[in-house]
Structure 1
Amino acid sequence: MGRNRQLTVLAALLLHTNRIVPVNSLIDAVWRSAPPATADKQIQTCVWRLRNAFAAAGAPVDLIETEQGGYRIRLGDDDLDAHAFEKSVRRARELVAVGDLESATAEYRSALALFRGQPLADLSGPLTYAVAAHWEERRFSVLEEWLDVGLTLGRHAELISELKPLVAEYPMRERLCAQLMTALHLSQRRAEALTVYRNNRLTQINNLGLEPGAGLQELHQKILSGEPIAPPAAVSYQPWPPAKVPAQLPARVKDFTGRRDLLHRITSDLRADGGPRVVALAGCGGTGKTALAIHVGHGLQQRFPDGRLYADLHGQTDPAAPQEVLHGFLDALGVPEQRIPAGLAARAALFRSVTANKRLLIVLDDVAESTRYEALLPSGESAVLCTGRASLLKIPGLTEYSVDGLPTDEALDLLASLVGVERVFAEVDSARRIAQLCGHLPLAIRAAGARLRARPRCTLRSFTDRLATQQNRIDELSIGWLDMGARLASSLDQLPPAGYRLWLRLSLCDLEYVPEWMASAVSDRPGEDTQRLLDTLVNLHLLAVAPGGTKDGPTYAFNPLVRDHARQRAGAELGAVAEQDVLDRIERALCRRESNAGGPRGYRPSEGSTVYGIQAV
């Protein structure tokens, strides 16, 4: 490319690998304080030419990505010499820590061999000068580590030829001087060792007006007095401090109720041996998935002695970036900030390495797009427990459980824990009706309990009457953070427009179960399109596949509270004629099916009878 603007832009992108570099930063790097009026266009041209050059060299077409406000170059751990250098240095230090100095020496040599001249030598400017100085210092610090290892191994005679030119070129680096003095003294060349000290002292006095440091002076005295000098012990660099034992789970719900069978199955899956386990809990908003996951996590503390990690991924509102979640996990496990790489792939690889010999439980709450969070899966004997509105079966090896409303007895137990046992069992029938109007959803039952607790003189029957007559029951069952409306709305945001319209129209069918052929009639779309939309609704748990089905295919059912909410929305958004239109479509579809089946035209089912898998209401 030559010494031109493209090279400066490339350098700026590489200095911030896998991070977005704003266009303004690229402009500053190229023109500093005097950019032309067309600077942003010229940067765009530079990036285009860089892409062409890389494509011609066989690089991926998306190597340089356009992001909002800037550009990003995506590279793996082994694609950049700076990354490869740090990786080799980490390995070398780990080998020193376990006493394998021979292998450590090879790793240090591999790292230092990556330096081929001055970094960014073809560029000028304050930024590149600072970066070049940083890497020069980094190289020297690693070089001095390698020399210490060599002296520890007794290679003092070999290292003299390495050290002499370095000390001549960099006489102010006292550690290099000390290493050369030690190597000469151990090689029975005492006079030369003293000469090195004398030259260093004169240089420092002439340039700085200072005597050498205490360590160098002490070494000089030992050589003068003929004291034996042991080679420096190789510093045992730990990759990071001893790992922490994180305990990030939120507090468990004090009045958690029911789910005994499901608790047993989930716990058994997570306890199983044989590599990492991933269990998912899927269900519509308000079913208590998070409370269940946290309850399970607290009960497995002994099984996972290396800690429990937790992250709310906000999948339905503002999805968290996996690399930020990994940063938090690595920090919780004791990895120092400076050791945490920038890119997602690098962080995921480090996370797998850190967790390889651990037993951790990781709870990922509110996962929306499972493929984005595969990087958060650990290795070894750790386990993952996920929650999400949609099915997460795309995660390899995952076991998924559907979390629905509570059975009536458990719903009554929850309501009793909120408003008092005496109050509930004094009006058991009304309590059952409240549970039914809440769709047996724990969140809605908790909201009802909060309303009743705030009205201690209100009877359960009068509250039941209030709920039953509410046009928008969801509003009555939303209080503070117990907001059923918000939970449902966030799920509806994931629907395509055709799916949302079908959901509204299906709610206008006054049927307990809706067969697939009727959904096609209501949607007025081809059968395959309707099936895909129904799959989407089931996947988001806005509709459920009813057990059993019919010879004509599956049937579908609403949670009662969800259907009430859908009907309220349908009335407001589709208009008053929508319900009659839906009923007319069902009637025409029934007549066609009766005609095709040879039945009497114009047949109308009587109340309570069952025709084609549906029950007339």
Structure 2
Amino acid sequence: MWRVVLYARKEFPSSISETSEEAGTQKTGRVFCRILGPLQIAIDGKPVRVGRNRQLTVLAILLLNANKVVPVSTLIDAVWRSSPPATADKQIQTCVWRLRNSFTAAGGPADLIETDQGGYRIRLSDDDLDARAFEKAVRGARDLAAAGDLESALAEYQRALSLFRGQPLADLPGPLTYGIAAHWEERRFSVLEEWLDIGLAFGRHSELIGELKPLVAEYPMRERLCAQLMTALYLSQRRAEALAVYRNSRITLINKLGLEPGARLQELHQQILAGEPIDTPLIPQRRVHHTAKTPAQLPARAQDFTGRRDLLPKIASDLRGEGGARVVALTGCGGSGKTALAVQVGHDLHQYFPDGQLYADLHGQTSPVPPHEVLCGFLDALGVPEQRVPAGLAARAALFRSVSATKRLLIVLDDLAESIRYETLLPSGDSAVLCTARASPLKIPGLVEYRMGGLPADDALDLLASLVGTERVFTEVESARRIIQACGRLPLAIRAAGARLRARPHCSLRAFADRLTTHRSRIAELTIGPLDIGARLATSLDQLSPACRHLWMRLGLCHLEHLPEWAASTLSDLPAEETQRLLDILVNQHLLTVAPGDPVNGPTYTFNSLIRDHARRYGEKELGSSATEDVTHRLSHAARRWRASAGHADSHRKNEGATVHGARAV
């Protein structure tokens, strides 16, 4: 049932034959004893035959009490229980004599078993007995985890768990071994759960699902295992399966024990049900703090990442360039996939930045993280002791530049706030910075910016297919195209649509597309758990001034596909220069897009279809039911005036042309 990967090494041979191969022909007299499975003794890697029955029982009791004197009376009780023969002590003496002969004949030390104070003692170091080696490895793993070296801690836990080969002392049935087996079974479970916690904290949730599923199926009443599987599934975007694990565990607990799940499991269930972010579990009584010498802080890449084939090589080329720090920014509206692209690029370029990758989520649209806090985390990740980190921002920035001067790092700054200056986070030396933001971070010098909108139609279709199944999408490909268009081809909205469709396996794509195009609030239909495109867009609105927000909502109520400057000026009730400034802000926030215009009439502006729906919904709610009629009336009058003015100007130009032509003729 234990599917943990086995890691063999000299101290922890996974079988006696392996020890024999490693030792070769060299005779060292080294002893290795196993009780975490069938009892086995190896000397120089070769198994030692120690007989059966009494000798095996005596050896087992000595090993269970290694380095302690075991009274003869205890050995007699273990062999004969309540009815020992009159010669029991002599027979125990004979058993010990035969064991010593077996060990010395195999090349072991003659004094491995000592006689002392009315009993016997077997002398072994921590590396000579698998049970002691197990405890030593567990202590080492916990120390590594507490120091923040999670990767080494995982390996040490795996080495410890690899020492188990089945039920302890499985070849010695009886009351004595039943209790021992139960003790070690629980001990193994406890350590396995610690290992799983570390794996989750290290971000290996997808890999651990295969380990956890059979364990939970066999032990559905172990709530910690259930919580770990629920966490791994939820963090792997398998929310429905996580909820199913809770339901099955609850049914089992009620049916077998008449109990509801514990508070921790119920709380986790509610968080997943509400689509809230959850913390990965940590080792009990320990707070894991990662301080790797070569940091690798990037989040896991999206396994179903799709599209952006035109951007990937350009961004990678800019970041790999030589000659000092490079800064690349990915900007776009909420839900356009900036973070996923940044993480994808970061993982693709891992080999180009041998000194590590630093990552910080700056929460720019909600509660921006101050630069001095980010610098503290970066310095800690690069191995700077806490007592050496200065208090002031300028001093921390200077120290960060000094530490990074000789390194080649990739620094990913996710979700920059427009209002906060993050220049202090720029490294020196041959490092690169990749940042994401809603608005262009123009304050950062030397910036190369890539503006991101919706996915190309074919890429958006591929993403939907990866979420709901290729056959289902391409059976109704036209309806699928309507869905992605209704999503504005924004990755987050497409993921929400995919989640809705996965939850409705019998719903046709045509019916869902009809619902999206006729639903009064398309944004609400494209919100499921953390996939909330409305919340992402709402944070951008919070950055707008009242005048800018008012103009954006009025533009959303227009039925024009392309919005000329004169239309915006008509609706803003402001001078043309001020209207242009507001339009620039909306474009910078990716709430409007500049479309090509003609030289005479100037540029026009367009909406992403989903953002237009959002603007219209806000406009109807905040400006009143008559707002749409008012906007239409204003634009009609303005259009007539503009056409008349344009006609007059055209006539004037023709007259001027005729006059010039006549003058030339004369």
SS in structure 1 opposite 2:568?
A: helix
SS in structure 2 opposite 1:259?
A: coil
Q: Give CA-to-partner distance per residue, 1:463-492, whole Å, 9 cap, x none.
A: 011111111100110111110010000000
What amino acid is aligned across from residue 294 of structure 1 in structure 2? V
CA contact (8 A) 1:243 1:335 kept: no
SS in structure 1 opposite 2:582?
A: helix
Partner of 2:348: 299
What amino acid is aligned across from residue 354 of structure 1 in structure 2? V
The answer to whether 1:345 aligns with 2:399 is no
SS in structure 2 opposite 1:323?
A: helix
Taking structure 1 as reference, are residues 266 and 370 closer, same or farther at Cα in structure 2, changes over 3 Å only? farther
SS in structure 1 opposite 2:359?
A: strand
Deviation at 1:572, TM superposition (A): 1.2
Partner of 2:611: 562
Identity %: 71
What amino acid is aligned across from residue 438 of structure 1 in structure 2? C
Partner Cα distance (2:341, 2:559) in 1: 33
CA contact (8 A) 1:370 1:395 kept: no
The answer to whether 1:316 aligns with 2:371 is no
Residue in structure 1 matching 2:558, options 500, 506, 509: 509
The answer to whether 1:468 aligns with 2:513 is no
Which residues of 2 match residues 269-280 of structure 1 at below 5 A?
Answer: 269-280=318-329
What amino acid is aligned across from residue 390 of structure 1 in structure 2? A
The answer to whether 1:409 aligns with 2:446 is no
Partner of 2:427: 378
Residue in structure 1 matching 2:490, options 441, 465, 486: 441
The answer to whether 1:335 aligns with 2:335 is no
Partner Cα distance (2:305, 2:595) in 1: 27
Residue in structure 2 matching 1:577, options 614, 617, 626: 626
Partner Cα distance (1:598, 1:321) in 2: 56
Partner of 2:314: 265
Partner of 1:191: none
Partner Cα distance (2:647, 2:597) in 1: 26
The answer to whether 1:457 aligns with 2:511 is no
Which residues of 2 match residues 491-506 of structure 1 at below 5 A?
Answer: 491-506=540-555
The answer to whether 1:356 aligns with 2:356 is no
What amino acid is aligned across from residue 283 of structure 1 in structure 2? G
Q: Give CA-to-partner distance per residue, 1:546-604, whole Å, 9 cap, x none.
A: 1345522211000000001111111111112111111111112112222223469xxxx
Partner of 1:426: 475
SS in structure 1 opposite 2:574?
A: coil
Residue in structure 2 matching 1:391, options 436, 440, 446: 440
Normalising by structure 2, what TM-score? Answer: 0.53
Q: Give CA-to-partner distance per residue, 1:520-553, whole Å, 9 cap, x none.
A: 0111111011011101101100111113455222
CA contact (8 A) 2:339 2:414 kept: yes
What amino acid is aligned across from residue 324 of structure 1 in structure 2? E
What amino acid is aligned across from residue 251 of structure 1 in structure 2? A
Deviation at 1:359, TM superposition (A): 0.3
Deviation at 1:269, TM superposition (A): 0.2
Partner Cα distance (2:549, 2:380) in 1: 41
Partner of 1:286: 335
SS in structure 1 opposite 2:496?
A: helix
The answer to whether 1:591 aligns with 2:640 is yes
Partner Cα distance (1:276, 1:370) in 2: 23
Partner Cα distance (1:261, 1:345) in 2: 38
Partner Cα distance (1:328, 1:377) in 2: 14
Structure 1: stretches of 5+ with no match in the other structure? 1-241, 601-617
Q: Give CA-to-partner distance per residue, 1:15-57, whole Å, 9 cap, x none.
A: xxxxxxxxxxxxxxxxxxxxxxxxxxxxxxxxxxxxxxxxxxx
SS in structure 2 opposite 1:302?
A: helix
SS in structure 2 opposite 1:260?
A: coil
SS in structure 2 opposite 1:279?
A: strand
Partner Cα distance (1:371, 1:449) in 2: 35
Deviation at 1:369, TM superposition (A): 2.5
Partner Cα distance (2:301, 2:360) in 1: 15
Count of equivalent residues: 359
Deviation at 1:243, TM superposition (A): 7.9
Deviation at 1:278, TM superposition (A): 0.1
What amino acid is aligned across from residue 350 of structure 1 in structure 2? L
Partner Cα distance (1:405, 1:547) in 2: 18
Structure 2: stretches of 5+ with no match in the other structure? 1-290, 650-666
Partner Cα distance (1:519, 1:286) in 2: 26
Which residues of 2 match residues 76-225 of structure 1 at below 5 A?
Answer: none
Q: Give CA-to-partner distance per residue, 1:371-410, whole Å, 9 cap, x none.
A: 5110000000000000000011221000000011001100
Taking structure 1 as reference, are residues 549 and 507 closer, same or farther at Cα in structure 2, changes over 3 Å only? farther
SS in structure 1 opposite 2:602?
A: coil
Deviation at 1:272, TM superposition (A): 0.6
Partner Cα distance (1:252, 1:549) in 2: 42
SS in structure 1 opposite 2:605?
A: strand
Q: Give CA-to-partner distance per residue, 1:64-93, whole Å, 9 cap, x none.
A: xxxxxxxxxxxxxxxxxxxxxxxxxxxxxx
Partner Cα distance (2:419, 2:406) in 1: 25
Q: Give CA-to-partner distance per residue, 1:199-218, whole Å, 9 cap, x none.
A: xxxxxxxxxxxxxxxxxxxx
CA contact (8 A) 2:421 2:443 kept: no
